[in-house]
Amino acid sequence: MIVTGILIPAVAAQPSGDEAAPGSGPAAPAVVDLADIPAEPPVQPSPPAPRELFGADCATTVEGSQVTAHCHNAYPETDLVSLHVECDRWWDLDGDGAAVAVGPAGRAELTGRCWKEVRAAWVSHRRP
């Protein structure tokens, strides 16, 4: 059934008798008008802006209720880093550390703690 449904339109589309199928005769030479070709290539879009290199690389470790972040700035601009600690218990106060300036090729160690368990810890970055 499926094969018959596909073949029937193909058979009906074939030319009958003296009619030549389109494209079966000699092809006419292609004509190109030179006035249609631009003298200069089209304007290329500008390349995307390079990604801005900024921000110290920080490794954060949690041991019990203590949090330590070691940051190293490999870029030529100073980065202000702050350690943020979110405690697991509802009564335990979360901590947002003071911003520490990490200069080019500089290192810093940030510490924070909770009374009990730590839920999350991260380091934020901003420009001076």
Higher-pLDDT residue of 124 and 16 is 124
pLDDT in tens, 7-66: 455 555 555 555 555 555 567 777 777 777 767 777 777 777 777 789 999 999 999 999
Order of strands across the sheet with 107-113?
Answer: 57-63, 66-72, 107-113
Q: Is 78 exposed, middle or buried (0-12, 13-18, 19+ CB in 10 A)?
A: middle
Give the end-to-end CA distance of the chain in Å, rounded to a whole number.
Answer: 75
Q: What is the pLDDT of residue 123?
A: 97
- Continuous H helices in the chain: 2-12
Q: What is the pLDDT of residue 25?
A: 59
Higher-pLDDT residue of 86 and 32 is 86
Q: What is the pLDDT of residue 34?
A: 72
Share of the chain above pLDDT 70, in %: 77
Q: What is the mean pLDDT of the chain?
A: 82
The predicted model scores a pTM of 0.60
Residues 6+ apart with CB under 8 A from 94: 84, 85, 86, 87
Q: Kind and range of the H or E element at 4?
A: helix 2-12
